[in-house]
Amino acid sequence: MIMPVSRSLTGMDNGHTMSNADSNQPEAGLTILVNGEPHLEYDRAKPLPEHQLAYLDRMDERMDGGIELGGARVDGPDALQRAQFVAIQVIEGLQDGNEPVVAASCAYLASRMPDLTQVKARLVDQGYSVELVFGEPYIKEVAVQFSPRLS
């Protein structure tokens, strides 16, 4: 299932491995892609310490009061709306070079949405679009060249 999210453009040390996603192997992790290129891979295998779990709970408490999503105010957002909002924070954090926001947001998505495997962002002139992909681990594409045989 793919959930689209669009928005115009107007620190947490989590103990998880966040690295350039360059593996050919499917992972149970969460891959962040921008314009089709993997930018990070978040490893869910390592548990979060209690203080970091508490921080994620505080993120939920702040979102309980409502969020801005797609230009509209959403009071009492559900889990998917929260994931969409946080995915936008990941992309904005990447664009701004704000590693703590990226780390906290990835930790939130990985812990609250265990079936979420990819966040795909496509940058365009007026902003960007974001898709949440569930149950489809990222697999690096490999270009295969061939020469047709002439008979």
The whole-number pLDDT of residue 13 equals 38
Distance CA 85, CA 100 (A): 16
User: Can you tell me the distance from the alpha carbon of 123 to that of 35, in angstroms, rounded to the nearest whole number?
Assistant: 6
What residues does each domain of the chain span? 2-134
- Closest by alpha carbon to 94, among 9, 24, 23? 9
pLDDT along the chain (151 residues), means of 10: 34 37 52 94 90 94 94 95 96 93 95 95 88 89 74 66
Angle at 19 between CA 35 and CA 93, to 5 degrees: 55
What pLDDT is stored for residue 124 in this prediction? 86
